Amino acid sequence: MSAARSNRRSLFLFLLVLAILAATGIGIWAFAKKPQTRSATKLCEQLSQVDTLSTSIVTLDPTTLGPQVAELQRATSVAPSDIQAQLSVLATFVQEIADAVRASPVDKKAALTAALAERQARVDEVTTAGQAVEGWTITNCGTSLRTTTTRH
């Protein structure tokens, strides 16, 4: 009977360790999946990473454009509700333009022109969203997304 008792004890101990590991894993997963807190401070911090976005778009420099666009996309996850929709419109549009330019194997300027022409119907919406985001960043962050109009 002591062998059977030892096996039960080992099985119980194994199940206990397995349950603890599962609970720990679930806790880590839940913490990692927790949505980021949306706040003006966090958005200002995130937008400081896209301070050369306008220059990157104009020059089509692939070494800066990709990272700048990715940071703008990440900014949408921390944007407060008063600017989230406008920032999402702007970020989506910029992402689409950047993707079209990156997909062009040869003439990046022609790809930019074509991508903008294809989205001409959305220009007013994106312009309005961009102006709202810029106004919001000037008011809340003390800076503009345009590299030529930075305020401190």
Highest mean pLDDT among 20-34, 39-53, 114-128: 114-128
The tens digit of pLDDT for each residue in 72-93 reads: 888 999 999 999 999 999 999 9
Number of Cβ atoms within 10 Å of the Cβ of 84: 16
The tens digit of pLDDT for each residue in 14-39 reads: 776 666 766 777 767 665 555 557 88
Highest mean pLDDT among 54-63, 71-80, 105-114, 139-148: 71-80
Residue 130 CA to residue 88 CA, distance in Å, equals 10
The H or E element spanning position 82 is helix 81-103
Structure confidence at residue 84 (pLDDT): 94
Helix (H, G, I), strand (E, B), or coil: what is residue 140? helix
Q: Is 114 exposed, middle or buried (0-12, 13-18, 19+ CB in 10 A)?
A: middle
Highest mean pLDDT among 19-33, 43-57, 119-133, 138-152: 119-133
Residue with tokens 């109009």: 149
Q: Is 146 left (phi over 0), alpha (psi -120 to 50) or beta?
A: beta
Residue 69 CA to residue 95 CA, distance in Å, equals 6
